[in-house]
Structure 1
Amino acid sequence: MTVDEDSKRLAELGYKQELARTWSGFSNFAISFSIISILAGCFTTFYQAWNNGGPVAISWGWPLISIFILIIGFCMSELVSAYPTAGGIYWWAAKLGKPIHGWFTGWLNLVGLVAVTASVDYGCATFLDLTLTQFFPSWEPSLARVFGFFAVILILHALINIYSHRLISVLQNISVWWHVAGAAVVVGLLIFLPQQHQSVSFVFTETINNSGFGDGTSGLPFWFYVLPLGFLLTQYTITGFDACAHVSEETQGAAMSAAKGLWKSIFYSAIGGWIVLLAFLFAATDVNAINESGGAVATIFTTALDWAPATLILAISTLGQFFCGMSCVTSMSRMTYAFSRDGAVPGWRLWSKVNVNRTPVNAILAGCGVALLITLPALWAPPGTAAPVAFLAVVSIAVIGLYLAFLIPIWLRLKQGAAFVPGPWTLGSKYKVLNWIAIIEIIVISIYFIMPVSPKGVPGNAEFTWTAVNYAPLAVGVVLAGIALWWTLSAKNWFAGPRRNVDEVPTP
């Protein structure tokens, strides 16, 4: 499909070609692959799986949950093929359902994208601090210093996204190869340099419960509450793949290339991530030290390797996370632009503007500013934890917001049945069973990730402390209540879903 044909298809969906359509199919795949980032989530939330299930939560949990996420990806690939617009899942929901569906989907997606940007950049700041601490061992742990790094990284990502959309495309491509080569180096170092490795039995059968819930690793509380909490590692790492849709208006041949880019980014990340995580587990020989550090993945490197290779791994991960955060800002800003273009965001005229480089500058600045604000609670943390609970809460907000946004158009597509008009990439008759699996999986994980992650975060517990509270249900609840109230009192009277800004469909 030529650029003119892409523009014609976009006009049929109701929009002018305002963004520069300079991205290749590989660049489209690259942005989701970079946002998923096995050099980010596998490192930053490793402790969550280690403390809630241990090796089995990783060696078995990762491939199991990856299969369910790939099914969600297949469902979304069919939708982006039919509707390749920057609004992505919001547009799909409004097209397949009613304005109210688009309203809720858009806001959930926007909240999820802001939260995933915040979580990735905060994780990057944490690993930058860990890397620098290797050079300055006298540094004391400091949440304020990490937050300062976080702010600087957000600013850098905003500037990169503002000043060159062509540079972003190039960096996305570089990011793919950095993730592939970087992961290969990490795995190689952990295979060949440690003096000893864990057994296959440890990696695939060992269970650990450092959560404080239940009685060790036996009984129903462990298998049905603690262990599923460990699955957050996989569910958080493999997310953000809707970016393929958000940059579809900038992608050549989007109806096919965005669909392929979406599911392939999940598939290759799942394989690569599992290999990396297994390398971690086989190198995790000092279990006591890892437990004492709260399950921090860096402890595996510093106990199994000498200073130089351990530092190299931390540096590889930090740069990978930097690429990931850069891609998150791109995706977030395109969604903000698209949703504002349809009048849904307060001050929409400001956020839907593009500059002379055809870049939504104001949307970039606004999203990064909100990402900074929602992470402010990370300046405080309960003692003896691997990371502020606020970080895990932001991670949970990202997962819940994004996956609930995915659920709505998938459900609406299921309801449409044979009336749905597919694009060139389609599920065919398999759409029913795959849609149902995706819907059930999203509902289940959304329930788990609003639950307390520590007994200290349970109201009424003798050791209760506010810094241990998972505020994800509060944040998501406030957002849902707010957008529901806004819809009821006002938006239902004026929000009609996507607004056409083109009168004629051009002839290619």
Structure 2
Amino acid sequence: MTEPAQSTVDADSARLAELGYKQELHRGWSGFSNFAISFSIISILAGCFTTFGQAWMNGGPIAISWGWPIISAFILIIGLCLSELVSAYPTAGGIYWWAATLGKPVHGWFTGWFNLIGLVAVTASVDYGCATFLNLVLANTVDGWAGTFHQAFLLFVGIMVLHALINIFGARIINRLQDVSVWWHVFGAVVIVAILVAVPSKHQSASFVFTETVNANGFFGNNASGLGFWLYVLPLGGLLTQYTITGFDACAHVAEETKGAAVTAAKALWRSIFYSAVGGWILLLAFLFAVQDPDKLTANYGFVGTLLQGALSAGYFKIVIIISTVGQFFCGMSCVTSMSRMTYAFSRDGAVPGWRLWTRLDRNGTPVWAVLAGCVAGMLLTLPALYQKNGAPIAFYAVVSVAVIGLYLAFLIPIVLRLRAGDRFVPGPWSLGRRYKVLGWIAAIEIIVISIYFVLPTVPAGVPFSDGFDWAAVNYAPIAVGSVIVLIGLWWVLSARKWFTGPRRTVEEAAAAVPADTAA
């Protein structure tokens, strides 16, 4: 290691000690690797493929062509607010640590649990999406492979296990794999766009792409106009963008492993959002222009595989699906890394039952048990996907909603606390300056609005007490999120408020553990 690089690592360790923590995780990540993990988790090769149908059925082309850039702009504002916070507090606990420091232990408690649940859900949804596309590849290439939903679930479990093993035994190269993932996403997206431009026999008009509306979820008589459409149906389509561009808090969760984190992690966070937004919009526009049979696409719930099969020959179809599937695999790998670091950091402060186990590091500095616990929790959360109703993966979109709500509620709390702190907040080297006020309020309002929409029923059969109500069609996001809020709220009132004091200062604990005759 060169002297300047060593100097940077020493400065990072010193800053971490000021925040109360001993340097335990291996600080070997570059700024690009920090950017890479968030870019990989955002993954336009994952979200744009797996949740395209949600936007198509709830708004159609305009929910994608116009909805994507508009919502992306709001998400970028959220990212800028978080970038300022990670610059001031570059710790693995990230969002939870910021909330506890800017507020009280209770703020850190709720933020940490929202963040952890969101990370578990986003990991599960990404790996289930990857399994769905791998299932499609196998059904088109392997004789006798039926491509059933039970087979998809088995693939999901296998993928989750692989990601756990990679994170545990590939700890020394995990940052390099993040770098590879970036280039796979960039060049993969370029190849897919080129194929969709060159191969289809016809393309839709700009008028179709930018003005066509679709309401195929059953609400308001499938009327694609009127207040019901604009105020209820169309916002539900925003789940495509809001889900795809999430998980960027990973830049904070690996901050203790990143060199020069106070600057590099802050820049990496907002840049991962910006570049993903631009690349994702180009990719989605390529999808829309390549639509051959809109009615058939709607009949198949907007599944992007139907779109691609109608536009491409069998060979090109397989190429596109394989590129996406590998991209989703990289994305899930990165999600497990981020999830395990958050589990480690939150457990380090005693918030998670069994915290001593989740904070154990192996010789490579990997929280092995935190990796395993998060993966098992993700599998349990996705169990309802074993039951399929009317061909529409209600359970998958519910898990997606849980991920979005959990993560964005976790973002909301420190942003509001930053607003409340005002000039008492001591910024790091990367700051919003006076702009924090207007940007913070915009971010907070956007998060509140989307959190309300994504707990609403997505199909008429999921509306409680209505004719034709079916539990299989229920968006169980509000049940999951509500249960968690009640559980952690009761836990706080009855127990945690008596012993949870927020971030611990492990620097002093480590010093106290050193025998007096060796401390010198």
Normalising by structure 2, report the TM-score.
0.96
**Letter of the aligned partner of 1:273 in structure 2?**
G
Query: By how many angstroms is 1:239 displaced?
Result: 0.1
CA distance in 2, matches of 1:345, 1:83: 21
CA distance in 1, matches of 2:496, 2:376: 25
Q: Describe the SS at the equivalent of 1:94.
A: helix
Gaps of 5+ in 1: none
Counterpart check, 1:431 vs 2:423: no
Query: By how many angstroms is 1:373 displaced?
Result: 0.3
**2:32 aligned residue (19, 26, 40):** 26
Query: For residues 371-410 of structure 1, what are the structure 2 equivalents within 5 Å?
Result: 371-385=378-392, 388-410=393-415
**Letter of the aligned partner of 1:233 in structure 2?**
L
Query: For residues 405-424 of structure 1, what are the structure 2 equivalents within 5 Å?
Result: 405-424=410-429
Report if the CA contact (8 A) 1:22-1:166 is conserved.
Answer: no
**1:470 aligned residue (469, 472, 475):** 475
Query: For residues 96-495 of structure 1, what are the structure 2 equivalents within 5 Å?
Result: 96-136=102-142, 139-215=145-221, 216-385=223-392, 388-495=393-500
Residues 155-181 of structure 1 show CA distances to partners (whole Å, capped at 9, x for unaligned) of 000000001222110110000000000
Residues 223-257 of structure 1 show CA distances to partners (whole Å, capped at 9, x for unaligned) of 00000000000000000000000000000000000
Residues 262-282 of structure 1 show CA distances to partners (whole Å, capped at 9, x for unaligned) of 000000000000000000000
CA distance in 1, matches of 2:355, 2:109: 14
C-alpha change, 1:254 and 1:504, in structure 2 (3 Å) is farther
CA distance in 2, matches of 1:367, 1:141: 27
CA distance in 1, matches of 2:347, 2:28: 23
CA distance in 1, matches of 2:378, 2:38: 19
CA distance in 2, matches of 1:120, 1:470: 18
Q: Describe the SS at the equivalent of 2:45.
A: coil
Report if the CA contact (8 A) 1:351-1:363 is conserved.
Answer: yes
Query: For residues 33-44 of structure 1, what are the structure 2 equivalents within 5 Å?
Result: 33-44=39-50
Identify which range, 287-296 or 90-99, moves more after superposition.
Answer: 287-296
**2:14 aligned residue (4, 8, 22):** 8
Report if the CA contact (8 A) 1:11-1:504 is conserved.
Answer: no
Report if the CA contact (8 A) 1:40-1:123 is conserved.
Answer: yes
CA distance in 2, matches of 1:137, 1:196: 31
Residues 430-489 of structure 1 show CA distances to partners (whole Å, capped at 9, x for unaligned) of 000000000000000000000000111112233222111100000000000001000000
**Letter of the aligned partner of 1:185 in structure 2?**
V
CA distance in 2, matches of 1:36, 1:384: 26
Report if the CA contact (8 A) 1:11-1:505 is conserved.
Answer: no
Query: By how many angstroms is 1:138 displaced?
Result: 5.8
Gaps of 5+ in 2: 1-6, 512-520
Task: Give the aligned CA root-mean-square deviation in angstroms.
Answer: 1.2
Query: By how many angstroms is 1:136 displaced?
Result: 3.6
Counterpart check, 1:53 vs 2:31: no
Query: By how many angstroms is 1:492 displaced?
Result: 0.4
Query: By how many angstroms is 1:497 displaced?
Result: 0.1
C-alpha change, 1:505 and 1:252, in structure 2 (3 Å) is farther
Query: By how many angstroms is 1:503 displaced?
Result: 2.7
Report if the CA contact (8 A) 2:22-2:510 is conserved.
Answer: no
Query: For residues 63-78 of structure 1, what are the structure 2 equivalents within 5 Å?
Result: 63-78=69-84
**Letter of the aligned partner of 1:199 in structure 2?**
S
CA distance in 2, matches of 1:23, 1:166: 10
Query: By how many angstroms is 1:141 displaced?
Result: 4.2
Residues 107-148 of structure 1 show CA distances to partners (whole Å, capped at 9, x for unaligned) of 000000000000000000000011111214764341110000
Report if the CA contact (8 A) 1:8-1:505 is conserved.
Answer: no
Report if the CA contact (8 A) 2:136-2:147 is conserved.
Answer: no
Query: By how many angstroms is 1:292 displaced?
Result: 1.6
Report if the CA contact (8 A) 1:381-1:468 is conserved.
Answer: no
Query: By how many angstroms is 1:341 displaced?
Result: 0.3
**Letter of the aligned partner of 1:332 in structure 2?**
M
Query: By how many angstroms is 1:5 displaced?
Result: 0.5
Report if the CA contact (8 A) 1:12-1:505 is conserved.
Answer: no
Percent of aligned pairs with the same residue?
69
Query: By how many angstroms is 1:501 displaced?
Result: 0.6
Normalising by structure 1, report the TM-score.
0.98
Query: By how many angstroms is 1:214 displaced?
Result: 1.1
CA distance in 2, matches of 1:136, 1:366: 33
CA distance in 2, matches of 1:405, 1:72: 12
Q: Describe the SS at the equivalent of 1:131.
A: helix
CA distance in 2, matches of 1:325, 1:261: 19
Q: Describe the SS at the equivalent of 1:502.
A: helix
Q: How many pairs are equivalent?
A: 504
**Letter of the aligned partner of 2:437 in structure 1?**
K
CA distance in 1, matches of 2:94, 2:141: 44
**Letter of the aligned partner of 2:176 in structure 1?**
V
